[in-house]
Structure 1
């Protein structure tokens, strides 16, 4: 009798699961293998693949979880967070933005009409360019109105989502591509949306892309433009000036070089667009046309700024009428148009003043406003009147561009208040009163840049240190930094913080005047330059 015995043969698995392969461990080949059960991994068997370079153990597990996260298998993992992709994106979804587009986007970008947008929505399933344009139109409308179609998702996340979808849908330019106005506006809307997301580098990239396509369209060349009917010719002229304005703005705000020269003429009248839109667009073109080669050369420091140039350019800006006062037509400009025009005009005046200041051309006793150290504080009174006259929405709708202008204006005003002594206590009180109102307005904007807010907050604290007082003892309203802003459902004018009363600022100004050195005002702007 044979009493010997042998161990049963070890079962060899024909195929290991994907996770065990990656980790190079033994797999028992079951539907849910022992290793995956132990680590709570999804057990998946895929077709054999060529061996790859071995990764570290921790990275292998992380990589496997990432690669299998989308598979349809029961899991204990938590559900994904809501995303824009969960919304049904059908024709009614895209047409729901048309009213906001017509009211808030088209008046300052009068190229693609509502009918043009509707035509793109109808053909977006058959045409890649149409689909890409619809995504761009959706992104810019959400960006400028700050409205999300799903209240559970913030508007900036929506803008990013549609820009990502735009990039996926956009087809490459073919060798024999014929450029179109719609394709240019895809790049232009992308540029503006990226500005609203504070991505200035990529925003610059897309405006340069717009310029390249405009040059391919040969806008401004008589032999090409004469072949078009009058409406299309006027539309392409507006397209050219649209991109010109944005390139000039980036040149000033981000120190970018320019390549697009101005056209010789303004856009022709186009009866297919509202007269008020046409007039408002002409006015903004005239303002940005003042940023000419001499202006840019002085701004970039490639030429020497002179008092004569400062005075001449300041007069040119002052003589350029804006708003309904300059519009003698039947249709008045909207508050949104007027706010943009007036702020832009003040911004240009401040830029010229800053160039004079940088070259120490200013004086506290100058009879010319453009060469006066106190010019910005006089401008603050006009800005306050503007913000009181128009609703917050009329200003906020222009996005990061107008907010950047208002920040630069307010920051410069603060530097002057802190650095340049006022001649009387009452004047000092008025200066600080206006400044507090301005920063209260900016702080009430939901999309105001946090870095810029911190800068202005520091300026406010400097003023508070110069004007030490007890608000509770004086019975004053809280400072702008202590205000809890009202919801957007209330009328805009009531969203603004109440500045401290003039009686309180009068007492604070007394303390400042006592602390100021008793020396005659300096004729140069050295101290102001240090504060800017």
Structure 2
């Protein structure tokens, strides 16, 4: 038989013959992690093989993910990482990589079709032999740890019942990916893997509400995209269909994410619509291509939001015309078909949210309706809320409403808050039998109380605003407000949305009592409505990653109702 070029670390340490595959037969038999990290040393006397196996098992136990997570949750110092920048032996088990890849393609791929499953699985078989692949899969696994329905694969059974185990696991994996990545010169020769690693690090930090770091890794990904020419159509001619399609999809994913983050946090743009759009046929071999309709709809929804809109939104440009905003509204209206499947309802919510933002922009720039054809009437937010209620009415009868994530709820809250501001300057309907704007607001609030069984801390804040501006509507609802609605210290394991980093959002909702004398001019509504780009998560939900829910390990996961991630693409 052909000689093996190099034995794995465990076989080399045990002085036994290695077959050179990963995992090798000896490691599989001895239940050891098979790695190729050690630097070859000079030969020495053989020791007891049983003793060596025990030492290897103990070392790998101390450096395993379970051990590090338990130490972190117990407030103990973890065993030090490798003094070099090489991967930590035993930290990323092959079982974890396999299950995280499976979870990604089962639940995330339709809105993030940026990886090729067969190629990724082939690379994962040799995790420790390439920094590029190791960092990609480590960062992917880190992000999967923050998703509802995902438990720590292959972990100590005790971790399944330990609150925060997923969060601690994700943070350990983030730190590992960042540390090991320092050993490669990925900035000099970026690959698809290195761009995806930056993107997954962005997703993970966003899920942890660490938005400065999230922005850093998003900007790193867009910078790497420019370095390798992903913004130029001719660049894609050098790749096969699989590689070219994944790079094109990643470029447009970054394009959408950057715009969503710019609207949410006032960040600048770096990517432009300079290449062809992705299609469902750009990779004829993709078995999941039929699931990409929502992703393509999302790209089309965000494409009209250019530098002009962002300059107006961030108030770095003051001149705007009613026709510009009206044209944007028309583009948004024409972009989605009148009928959409349940799977694509998230994109309809995105559409209504973006329409709300453009309406706010028209108010900020004094485009007050005077009856002109190009101007957006005050009735517009009311019509949006009515349309949104017709879209989301199915949720009230959906038995899996607790799986709808933070961004969907944030969109509803954002639209509800805008509706409150409009109602504050509009007279009540004179017809007691008609469905008026206040009834639509009441329906939205009822829907918010149904999603996740009302187990989130945003709703009381919205009710507080309703109480200040529309007390007659709010009083019946406030009778059921949670007793701890105003608490400043929220349980980090509150079962919702902030990955254990929860803090009450500092919303700029009006808290002074409403009086006729304090009524705003209509031009100022958007400026004081809680929808400016000051950075609050409630103000504009992020369309591609969502803050994860901390779920009970016993919760059964229903694939059909997985909605947390589609809602920063949602």
| Aligned positions of 1:117-128 closer than 5 A | 117-128=120-131
Alignment partner of 1:153 is 2:153: no
Sort the Cα spacing of 1:175 and 1:309 in 2 relative to 1 into closer, same or farther, 3 A.
closer
Alignment partner of 1:106 is 2:104: no
- CA shift at 1:386, angstroms? 3.0
CA–CA distance in 1 between the matches of 2:417 and 2:205?
24
8 Å CA contact retained: 1:323, 1:341: no
Alignment gaps of 5+ in structure 1 = 1-69, 71-77, 326-332, 472-476, 485-514
Partner of residue 445 from structure 2, selected from 404, 424, 436:
436
Higher helix share goes to which structure?
1
- CA shift at 1:128, angstroms? 2.0
CA–CA distance in 2 between the matches of 1:174 and 1:530?
47
- CA shift at 1:110, angstroms? 0.3
8 Å CA contact retained: 2:401, 2:450: no
8 Å CA contact retained: 1:125, 1:131: yes
| Aligned positions of 1:3-22 closer than 5 A | none
Q: Normalised by the size of structure 2, how large is the TM-score?
A: 0.62
8 Å CA contact retained: 2:378, 2:422: yes
Name the counterpart of 1:7: none
Name the counterpart of 1:52: none
Q: Normalised by the size of structure 1, how large is the TM-score?
A: 0.66
- CA shift at 1:380, angstroms? 1.9
Sort the Cα spacing of 1:368 and 1:420 in 2 relative to 1 into closer, same or farther, 3 A.
farther
| Aligned positions of 1:338-353 closer than 5 A | 338-353=344-359
| Aligned positions of 1:255-274 closer than 5 A | 255-268=266-279, 269-273=282-286, 274=288
| Aligned positions of 1:225-374 closer than 5 A | 225-268=236-279, 269-273=282-286, 274-301=288-315, 302-321=317-336, 325=340, 335=343, 338-363=344-369, 366=371, 371-374=376-379
294-303 vs 307-316, which moves further: 294-303
Sort the Cα spacing of 1:460 and 1:158 in 2 relative to 1 into closer, same or farther, 3 A.
farther
CA–CA distance in 1 between the matches of 2:378 and 2:334?
21
Partner of residue 136 from structure 2, selected from 133, 136, 146:
133
**Partner secondary structure for residue 353 of structure 1:** helix
- CA shift at 1:138, angstroms? 1.2
8 Å CA contact retained: 1:133, 1:182: yes
**Partner secondary structure for residue 112 of structure 1:** coil
Name the counterpart of 2:423: 417
How many residues of Structure 1 are paired with residues of Structure 2 in the alignment? 405
**Partner secondary structure for residue 238 of structure 2:** coil
Sort the Cα spacing of 1:276 and 1:145 in 2 relative to 1 into closer, same or farther, 3 A.
farther
Name the counterpart of 2:214: 203
CA–CA distance in 2 between the matches of 1:457 and 1:530?
17
8 Å CA contact retained: 2:236, 2:244: yes
| Deviation readout 1:150-182 (Å, 9 max, x if unpaired) | 341324333323212222222344289432101
Alignment partner of 1:456 is 2:465: no
Sort the Cα spacing of 1:203 and 1:393 in 2 relative to 1 into closer, same or farther, 3 A.
farther
- CA shift at 1:392, angstroms? 8.4
* CA-based RMSD: 3.8
- CA shift at 1:249, angstroms? 0.9
Name the counterpart of 1:379: 384
- CA shift at 1:224, angstroms? 3.1
Flag the structure with larger Rg.
Answer: 1
Sort the Cα spacing of 1:429 and 1:171 in 2 relative to 1 into closer, same or farther, 3 A.
closer
CA–CA distance in 1 between the matches of 2:326 and 2:357?
13
Sort the Cα spacing of 1:354 and 1:101 in 2 relative to 1 into closer, same or farther, 3 A.
same
- CA shift at 1:189, angstroms? 1.0
Sort the Cα spacing of 1:387 and 1:160 in 2 relative to 1 into closer, same or farther, 3 A.
farther
CA–CA distance in 2 between the matches of 1:417 and 1:355?
18
- CA shift at 1:219, angstroms? 1.7
8 Å CA contact retained: 1:317, 1:349: yes
